[in-house]
């Protein structure tokens, strides 16, 4: 562990880092990671784009759960891991952050040059007119259409779980686009069965190819959407470091893997990197 942390420290201290982050970075902000160690007992199969657009019941169920789950996301704050990434960026060592997370917490922690690979949950798009509106505005409209919903469901699920009985889903009233009046609304995130916009992917590939190292934080790299950047870096001879709790599907491409909780490890890494920089400029013998 100490040895692998030394390798990671050297890579980050060398600068030119591109970070690729996943759900594991946000678990310590209270956002569940469905693929990581805490998410083994995943209750719901992920919503696919096809089910969302073709099945009105699936869509109603999605919005009912999401109307409750949004409170969790909207109330979440960046953790020590997000802040450490922003600090390394301010120190000029991290060039850009590619995140698979849709929670906006990198930006909230002060990171810049963040590419949100899978979109943002706080924006809503109309599949007909294409207009983008804020989730806050949608939340207001959903509350108006469902005045007692949150209170009723919260009474049923005191633990904050959003597993909804069918009769409560049936009582939920989703709303259509407030601009064109009839369009189907969808959170501006990439669902399963949907592809990431090609220009966004191309930007990420370009960043990875220019990087001095690629540092993966809290992703099991299960889906190709993120793993392809690790493969590309490895093919170009760019060192890849992976910090995650548990093994990942990118381990075979990595120069170094560190198995640790990110909220504890990243601040320690920041201190080590700062120490290394200080050592580098200190005259010999001092």
Q: Using the minimum distance from each CB to Zn ion, give the nearer residue, 165 or 181.
A: 181
- Residue 67 and residue 150 in contact, taking contact as beta carbons nearer than 8 Å: yes
* Six token digits for residue 140: 């207001």
Which of these, 223, 259, 224, 215, lies nearest to 21 by C-alpha position? 215
Does the protein bind Zn ion through residue 175 (CB under 5 A)? no
Q: Using the minimum distance from each CB to Zn ion, give the nearer residue, 127 or 264.
A: 127
Which of these, 138, 142, 136, lies nearest to 171 by C-alpha position? 142
Does the protein bind Zn ion through residue 156 (CB under 5 A)? no
Which of these, 93, 26, 44, 82, lies nearest to 245 by C-alpha position? 26
- Residue 126 and residue 177 in contact, taking contact as beta carbons nearer than 8 Å: yes
Q: Using the minimum distance from each CB to Zn ion, give the nearer residue, 187 or 263.
A: 187
Q: Using the minimum distance from each CB to Zn ion, give the nearer residue, 129 or 206.
A: 129
| Residues 35-74 close enough to bind Zn ion by CB under 5 A | none
Tokens 């013998």 label which residue?
Answer: 285
Tell me the C-alpha distance between 118 and 34, whole Å: 15
What is residue 211's three-state secondary structure?
Answer: coil
| Residues 109-138 close enough to bind Zn ion by CB under 5 A | 126, 128-129
Does the protein bind Zn ion through residue 183 (CB under 5 A)? yes
DSSP strand pairing (94-99 vs 17-21): parallel
What is residue 42's three-state secondary structure?
Answer: coil
Following CA atoms 28, 150, 173, 126 in sequence, which dihedral angle do they give, to the nearest 10 degrees? Answer: -30
Minimum distance of Zn ion from residue 186's CB (angstroms): 11
Minimum distance of Zn ion from residue 74's CB (angstroms): 23
Region of 48-56, 75-83, 104-112, 172-180 interacting with Zn ion (CB under 5 A): 172-180
Tell me the C-alpha distance between 74 and 142, whole Å: 15
Does the protein bind Zn ion through residue 77 (CB under 5 A)? no
Region of 16-24, 182-190, 226-234, 274-282 interacting with Zn ion (CB under 5 A): 182-190
How buried is 159 (Cβ within 10 angstroms: 0-12 exposed, 13-18 middle, 19+ buried)?
exposed
Q: Using the minimum distance from each CB to Zn ion, give the nearer residue, 30 or 130.
A: 130
Does the protein bind Zn ion through residue 180 (CB under 5 A)? yes
Minimum distance of Zn ion from residue 65's CB (angstroms): 23
Of the residues 117, 121, 177, 270, which one makes contact with Zn ion according to CB under 5 A: 177
Q: Using the minimum distance from each CB to Zn ion, give the nearer residue, 153 or 177.
A: 177
Total residues contacting Zn ion by CB under 5 A comes to 7
* Six token digits for residue 285: 């013998």
Catalytic residues: 118
Minimum distance of Zn ion from residue 61's CB (angstroms): 22
Region of 33-41, 149-157, 179-187, 259-267 interacting with Zn ion (CB under 5 A): 179-187
Residues binding Zn ion (CB under 5 A): 126, 128-129, 177, 179-180, 183
């Amino acid at each position: 562990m100490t040895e692998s942390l030394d390798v990671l420290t050297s890579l980050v201290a060398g600068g030119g880092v591109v970070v690729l982050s996943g759900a594991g970075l946000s678990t310590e902000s209270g956002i569940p990671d469905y693929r990581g160690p805490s998410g083994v007992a995943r209750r719901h199969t992920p919503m696919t784009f096809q089910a969302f657009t073709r099945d009105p019941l699936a869509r109603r169920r999605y919005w009912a759960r999401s109307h409750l789950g949004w409170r969790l996301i909207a109330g979440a704050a960046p953790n020590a891991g997000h802040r450490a990434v922003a600090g390394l960026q301010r120190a000029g060592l991290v060039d850009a952050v590619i995140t698979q997370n849709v929670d906006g917490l990198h930006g909230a922690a002060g990171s810049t040059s963040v590419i949100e690979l899978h979109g943002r949950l706080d924006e809503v798009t109309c599949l007909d007119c294409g207009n983008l509106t804020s989730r806050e505005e949608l939340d207001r409209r959903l509350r108006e259409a469902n005045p007692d919903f949150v209170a009723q469901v919260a009474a049923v699920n005191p633990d904050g779980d959003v597993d909804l009985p069918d009769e409560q889903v049936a009582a939920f009233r989703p709303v259509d686009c407030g601009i064109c009046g009839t369009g189907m609304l969808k959170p501006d995130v990439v669902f399963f069965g949907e592809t990431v916009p090609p220009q966004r992917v191309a930007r990420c590939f370009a960043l990875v190819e220019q990087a001095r190292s690629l540092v993966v934080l809290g992703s099991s790299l299960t889906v190709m959407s993120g793993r392809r950047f690790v493969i590309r870096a490895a093919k170009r001879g760019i060192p890849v470091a992976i910090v995650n709790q548990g093994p990942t599907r990118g381990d075979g491409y990595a120069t170094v893997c560190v198995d640790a909780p990110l909220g504890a490890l990243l601040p320690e890494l920041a201190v080590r990197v700062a120490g290394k920089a200080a050592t580098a400029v200190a005259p010999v013998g001092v």
